[in-house]
Amino acid sequence: MRSYEVKNRTNTEDIKSLRLVTAIKTPYLPDGRFDLEAYDALVNMQIEHGAEGVIVGGTTGEGQLMSWDEHIMLIGHTVNCFGASIKVIGNTGSNSTQEAIHATEQGFAVGMHAALHINPYYGKTSLEGMISHFESVLPMGPTIIYNVPSRTGQDIPPLVIQSVARSPNLAGVKECVGNDRIEQYTSDGIIVWSGNDDQCHDSRWDYGATGVISVTSNLVPGLIRELMFCGKNPLLNSRLLPLIEWLFHEPNPIGLNTALAQLGVVRPVFRLPYVPLPLAKRVEFVNIVKKLGRGNFVGEKDVQVLDDDDFILIGRY
């Protein structure tokens, strides 16, 4: 299922140079389907404020709550509408090698510029199995590997990355285990993006990371861009930390979903098992916005504290 038409468009080097990639939120209609108008607005705001790539259907975008046909559709939609302005990186990873193969073929076929791959979470496997898993998908196109043991229950150790780095398609690693690991890779010439917003400033300026794959940039894309592009800025970094701490108080994207709803840029619709943050936290967010400045956040409406009744939680969609 190769296609020269598609292959000739992106090469791995184009991916390696990205400094700000946003793990974009997927917004929903009240019946649980995608709200593509709201989604398009979110992506447009990212482009406008300087994000260079989006992860479509990452854990932030709730790929784990999508059927594969929805997921591939969203990748295809994003490429079709925005592919000329921003790199589209589809999270076509899975803990099932078969699903990862199928989704990655389809994602590249509809034009995604790169794939994001995860080690087999939950089911887990041996290191040899992990390598086989990645080798099943690497030949298809530019690839970022994502290491997040707090979600997967299993670290991807450097020897696995070193093994798969022999493929010219490996663009780099989205790494969440910390700056020592990042330094280890970057000193070996392997491209790394920080997967932790609270560490990304130091990762970028002190440990060799190329940039960040960010959640926070959904909210304040311009500030995260500044953090990645405009030189060391510990002051800005420390100003952002309260927001970042608030965002990750509960597993992501609970905070992000709550925040975007209160900013009025998405409907307050949650697909279960996600539920909004409680009222006290919702009040906190409004204060954080005011402190950082509403103008730094996406959207134009006043930020508001939503009531419990404003939220729609959906189990069947």
Looking at residues 52 to 91 of the shown chain, list those that interact with a second copy (rule: CB under 8 A): 59, 62, 64-65, 68-70, 72-74, 76-77, 79-83
Q: At what angle do helices 234-247 and 254-262 cross, to 10 degrees?
A: 100
Show contacts with a second copy in window 105-124 (CB under 8 A): 105-106, 109-111, 120-124
Which residue's CB is nearer to a second copy, number 68 or number 229?
A: 68
Does 236 participate in binding a second copy (rule CB under 8 A)?
no
* Piece of the chain touching a second copy by CB under 8 A; list 13-21, 101-109, 156-164, 207-215: 101-109
* Piece of the chain touching a second copy by CB under 8 A; list 13-21, 99-107, 208-216, 290-298: 99-107
Show contacts with a second copy in window 162-221 (CB under 8 A): none
Show contacts with a second copy in window 253-312 (CB under 8 A): 254, 271-275, 277-278
Smallest distance from a second copy to CB 249, Å: 9
* Piece of the chain touching a second copy by CB under 8 A; list 45-53, 143-151, 234-242, 288-296: 143-151
Contact of 183 with 151, CB cutoff 8 Å = no
Q: Which DSSP string do the residues of 209-225 spell out, in sequence order?
A: --EEEESGGGT-HHHHH
Produce one character per residue of 303-315: b if its CB has 16 or more CB atoms within 10 Å, e if not. Answer: beebeeeebeebe
Over the window 17 to 46, marking each residue x when it contacts a second copy by CB under 8 A and - when it does not, the resulting string is ------------x-xxxxxxx-xx------
Distance CA 126, CA 79 (A): 35
Which residue's CB is nearer to a second copy, number 102 or number 294?
A: 102
Tally of residues, the chain: 317
* Piece of the chain touching a second copy by CB under 8 A; list 11-19, 145-153, 214-222, 236-244: 145-153
Which residue's CB is nearer to a second copy, number 123 or number 299?
A: 123
Find all residues with CB under 8 Å of 306, minimum gap 6, and list them. Answer: 258, 261, 262, 268, 276, 282
Nearest Cα to Cα of residue 40 among 92, 103, 104, 86:
86
Question: Which positions are catalytic?
Answer: 146, 174
Measured on CA atoms in the order 81, 82, 88, 94, is the torsion positive or negative? negative
Q: Which one among 125, 169, 184, 304 touches a second copy, defined by CB under 8 A?
A: 125
Which residue's CB is nearer to a second copy, number 80 or number 187?
A: 80
Which residue's CB is nearer to a second copy, number 85 or number 233?
A: 85
Find all residues with CB under 8 Å of 228, minimum gap 6, and list them. Answer: 19, 20, 200, 204, 211, 212
> What's the Cα-to-Cα distance from 260 to each of 43, 225, 248, 264, rounded to whole Å?
13, 19, 14, 6
Amino acid at 46: Q
